[in-house]
Chains A and B, each alone.
Chain A
Amino acid sequence: MVQVLLNSVATSGIYLLLALGLVLTFGLGRTANFAHGDFAVWAALIYIPLAGSGGSLAAAGAVLVACLALAATGSLLGSTLFRRLEGNLEAGLLASLGLVFVLQGAATSLWGLAPQGADPFVSGVAEVGTAIIAWQRVLAVVIAATTVLLLWLALNTTRVGTMVRAISEDAEAATALGIPTARIRVGVFGVGALLAGLAGVIYVTLFRVTPFTGEFLVLKAFLVAVLGGASSILGVVVAAFTVGVAEVFGTQYISASFRDAYGLIALVVVLIARPQGIGALQVRRV
Chain B
Amino acid sequence: MAETEAVMGSSQEWWRWPAGSWQNRAALLLAVAVCLVAPVLIGGARGQNLLIRAALLAILATSLNLAFGLGGRLSLAHAALYGAGSYAAILTTKHLVANPVVAITMAVVVGAVVAYAIGLVTMGLEGISFAIVSYAIGATLVLVASRLDITGGVTGISIEGDLGSVPVGSTTLDLSTRSAKLALVLLALVGSLWCYQRIRTSRFGLALEAQRDDPILAASLDIDVMSLRARVMAVSGALAGLAGALSAYYIRHVSAELFGAGLAIETLVIVVLGGAGYLLGPVLGAALIAVGLELAPFSPGVRRAATGIVLIVLVLFFRHGTAGFLAHQLRARTARRSTDRIVADQPGGSRP
Contacts and interface: CB of A to CB of B under 8 A. Distances in A.
Interface string A92-125: 0111011111111111111000000000000000
B311 A105 contact: no
B137 A264 contact: yes
A32 B301 contact: no
A81 B309 CA distance: 12
A98 B306 CA distance: 9
A98 B312 contact: yes
A222 B132 contact: yes
Given A98-B309, A283-B127, A226 B304 contact: no
Interface stretch (A2-10, A46-54, A82-90): A82-90
A93 B124 CA distance: 19
A20 B300 CA distance: 32
Interface in B193-223: none
B143 A216 contact: yes
B121 interface: yes
Given A97-B265, A277-B125, A105 B315 contact: no
A278 B305 contact: no
Contacts, number: 157
A106 B310 CA distance: 14
Nearest to A275: B124
B304 A90 contact: no
Contacts of A91: 315, 319
A101 B304 contact: yes
Contact of A216 (B124, B139, B307): B139
B268 A215 contact: no
A101 B270 CA distance: 14
Given A98-B309, A101-B305, A282-B129, 11 more contacts: A34-B135, A84-B316, A90-B74, A94-B74, A98-B311, A104-B305, A105-B301, A219-B143, A226-B133, A281-B132, A283-B127
22 contacts: A32-B131, A95-B312, A97-B265, A100-B261, A102-B309, A104-B262, A105-B302, A105-B308, A108-B300, A109-B299, A211-B301, A257-B148, A257-B149, A258-B147, A260-B143, A261-B143, A275-B226, A276-B124, A277-B124, A277-B125, A277-B126, A277-B129
